[in-house]
Amino acid sequence: MNFENLQVSKALELRNMTIKNRIVRSATHSMLGNLDGTISQDELKMYDELASNEIGLIIAGQFFVSKDGIVAPGSNELINDDHAKYAKKIKEIVEPNDTKVIAQINHAGIQAYSQDPFGPSEFDLEDGRVAREMTIDEITRVKSDFVESAVRAQKSRMDGVQLHAAHGYLLCEFLKPSINKRTDNYGGSSENRFRIVREILEEIKEACGEAYPVFIKIDSNDLIETATYNDDLDYMMFQLEALGIEAVEFSGSDFATKKYSDHNYFLDSALEIKGDRNIATMVVGGVRNFNDMETVLTSGVDMVSLSRPFITEPDLITRLKKGQEKSRCVSCSKCSTVGRKRCILNTF
């Protein structure tokens, strides 16, 4: 299959960014970060290899916006200017390959590595502890943390930022009716549960300028209150389009349960959610080869996003161009537990 003739190889013009092709490296916890929250040399090598192998857009991180919001020791952070200085090195490394890079910013919420975890509502954790409900003052502080991290990303020459509002982290917790049980202005209706995300997006645009690209990652499903969340998604997409979001990345709350034989997990739901709205989209999950990529793009999605396949093979696109049939990733999800080795199939 000739790469140059594929839709995935074509450049894409977004609102405020041009990407050389439709291939996106989805953000993922690298297990390679320094304990002080800075980017490590191992991570810089990883980004260099990704950018050297035909990836148009790298979503770097995840970068956490506060110490009480990290998911594990060694998480990347954008909390101070030293973090930004190290993050700038990512841009310097990928730029010669004409690869764009944006910083995913996040707060882990009830999943945080913290002695005092909190979320939108009280929540029983698996270890027997109870995450407490955030106060309004804490919501205000978290919003400021997101905005300040976005400003640091811009100062570090990142081409944009992505809010992580999926996978059960803090912003996702506010969006999900199955988790957010608040009765104030940040809970209840679709408008209220989306409020913290909307306010963060508005404040980032004010701080960084309307032209600075802002992306968002959201779940395309909720397994507990499906009908309500589906209605929410319709409301959210209308709001995101009005806010001038650069692109929406669709994932799902159940990606880790999918089988190796499953492909393009969230494509159908992404297409239904997008509808005929004038907003760019990307889909992650179950993409294993060029056929999967072309299926995504010819269906009406603008970009195709990969995470675990690039963990085991950062040079996957080059391998596929040379005739390799598909990614060797088997979707075992053990990359989340094996630490600095990154993949059980790798020997380094």
What is the full DSSP assignment across 242-278? HTT-SEEEEE-TTGGG--TT--STTHHHHHHHHTT-S
- Placement of tokens 């980004």 in the chain: 47
- In angstroms, the CA 19 to CA 12 distance is 5
Q: Write the DSSP symbol of residue 135.
A: P
pLDDT-based confidence at residue 342 (cuts at 50, 70, 90): low
**Structure confidence by residue, pLDDT tens digits, 243-259:** 999 999 999 876 666 66
User: What residues have CB less than 8 Å from 129, skipping those under 6 apart?
Assistant: 117
Output 331 or 42, whichever has higher pLDDT. 42
- In angstroms, the CA 59 to CA 161 distance is 8
- In angstroms, the CA 137 to CA 143 distance is 10
Which is nearest to 120 in space by CA: 178, 67, 186, 185? 186
pLDDT-based confidence at residue 338 (cuts at 50, 70, 90): low
Whether this prediction's pTM lies above 0.85 is answered by yes
- In angstroms, the CA 279 to CA 301 distance is 10
Give SS3 for 75: coil
User: In this structure, are residues 214 and 102 in contact, taking their beta carbons and an 8 Å threshold?
Assistant: no
User: What six digits make up the tokens of 130?
Assistant: 């109870």
- Placement of tokens 């889909």 in the chain: 283
- In angstroms, the CA 7 to CA 12 distance is 10
339: alpha, beta or left? (left if phi > 0; alpha if psi -120 to 50): left
What are the helix (H) ranges across the chain? 41-51, 81-94, 136-155, 170-175, 190-208, 226-242, 267-274, 290-298, 308-312, 316-321
User: What six digits make up the tokens of 261?
Assistant: 């034989």
**Structure confidence by residue, pLDDT tens digits, 170-229:** 999 999 999 999 999 999 999 999 999 999 999 999 999 999 999 999 998 887 888 898
Radius of gyration of the chain (CA): 19
- In angstroms, the CA 83 to CA 193 distance is 31
Query: What's the distance, CA 8 to chain centroid?
Result: 20
User: What residues have CB less than 8 Å from 29, skipping those under 6 apart?
Assistant: 62, 71, 72, 75, 336
Give SS3 for 26: coil
- In angstroms, the CA 338 to CA 348 distance is 12
Q: Which amino acid is at 333?
A: S
Q: What's the whole-number average pLDDT of the chain? A: 91
- For 214, phi then psi, to 5°, come to -125, 125
Q: Write the DSSP symbol of residue 192.
A: H
Percentage of residues in the chain having pLDDT higher than 90 = 77
**Structure confidence by residue, pLDDT tens digits, 285-324:** 889 899 999 999 999 999 999 988 898 889 999 999 999 9
User: What six digits make up the tokens of 265?
Assistant: 């997990």
Give CA separation, 4 vs 24, 54, 292, in Å. 17, 11, 16
Q: Which amino acid is at 125?
A: L
- In angstroms, the CA 307 to CA 311 distance is 7
